[in-house]
Amino acid sequence: MISNKCKYAIKALVYIAANESDSRAVMTSDIARDQQIPRKFLEIILRELRNNRILESKRGKDGGFRLLRPAEDISLSEVMRIIDGPIAMLPCVSLNYYRSCDECDESTCEIKGVFEQVRDRTLEVLNGQTIKSLTLNC
Amino acid sequence: MISNKCKYAIKALVYIAANESDSRAVMTSDIARDQQIPRKFLEIILRELRNNRILESKRGKDGGFRLLRPAEDISLSEVMRIIDGPIAMLPCVSLNYYRSCDECDESTCEIKGVFEQVRDRTLEVLNGQTIKSLTLNC
DNA sequence: TATATATCCTATCTATTTGATAGTATTTAT
DNA sequence: ATAAATACTATCAAATAGATAGGATATATA
């Protein structure tokens, strides 16, 4: 399962992509209201996405958030990794957060192979979807 | 990520499948030693698998665990669901543990579709693997 | 320059889950 | 009887999830 935080992050990005314009940044409070996300929690999430160069922000009146890059260049897998960390089901098959399992020998591990397959199938979907492609469902 | 508990459960089942025989049940302490799993924690896991009709147990001297069904009839997805619950990434796309997301309307949810795809791709792998097929990696 | 309004930052909190450990009771083969 | 195995109940510490509170800072505009 992905966390609520991650679900909120994805929905917020899709909302921003669908509502931003040159003349308008999208405010936390608008996203929170329309997507039913606790506002203060959402602030933390959006700041984290900004710190990871997914969003840019503008403070003060008429402030808000915009995508820092085109929506078609932000993949779902990238967002999920920022918020929730590894996508793989085992640390030892993670591409971006690899850790060895201290209790088992990877060269003879009976289950590593299956979870590599799961990882690859999962990433085929998640790498192929972007914030742009998700806005088409709006 | 799956939990350590779930990883232990899978490894223990594969170990049992590989080592059981008509004349021999497999003991917790042997699994714990060979697979480097904390023994008392493993006891809890094996009991849970027995309660869910994956294993049968025999108490007392020469006791231990055996698969209740043929290893080829126990899929990886079934084991994972018993120990960790849902395989899907969102509650609202789970086949066995469905829950609605209270904050969003499923008929207009922008992200439900992708996670249905991920679920289906994941299950193609996990339904196709059994305790039997995993023992071939031993 | 005052003001309203937005993000930024730090701290804190509660409940749940994870990953175990301890100790005792019960069953069974010999 | 006894040794050796599972069964059961209770407990615990650390991490994570899912927030909330309050004040600091920046900015558009009257």
pLDDT of A103 above 90: no
Same domain, yes or no, for B81 and B121?
A: yes
User: Is the minimum distance from the CB of A11 to strand C below 7 Å?
Assistant: no
Domain of residue A33, residue span? 4-67
Same domain, yes or no, for B40 and B84?
A: no
User: Is the minimum distance from the CB of B33 to strand C below 7 Å?
Assistant: no
As for how many domains chain B has, the answer is 2
What is the mean predicted confidence (pLDDT) over A82-102? Answer: 96
What is the DSSP code (8-state) at residue A1?
Answer: -
CB proximity list for A137: less than 8 A, separation 6 or greater: B109, B110, B111, B113
B-interface mutation test, from A4, A7, A94, most B Cβ less than 10 A away:
A7
Same domain, yes or no, for A59 and A23?
A: yes
Residue A138 forms part of a structural domain: no
pLDDT at B103: 82
What's the CA gap between A32 and A48, in Å, rounded?
A: 16
pLDDT of A54 above 80: yes
Same domain, yes or no, for A60 and A78?
A: no
Q: What is the pLDDT of residues B4-49, one digit of tens each?
A: 999 999 999 999 999 999 999 999 999 999 999 999 999 999 999 9
pLDDT of A102 above 80: no
Same domain, yes or no, for A48 and A81?
A: no
Residue B136 forms part of a structural domain: no
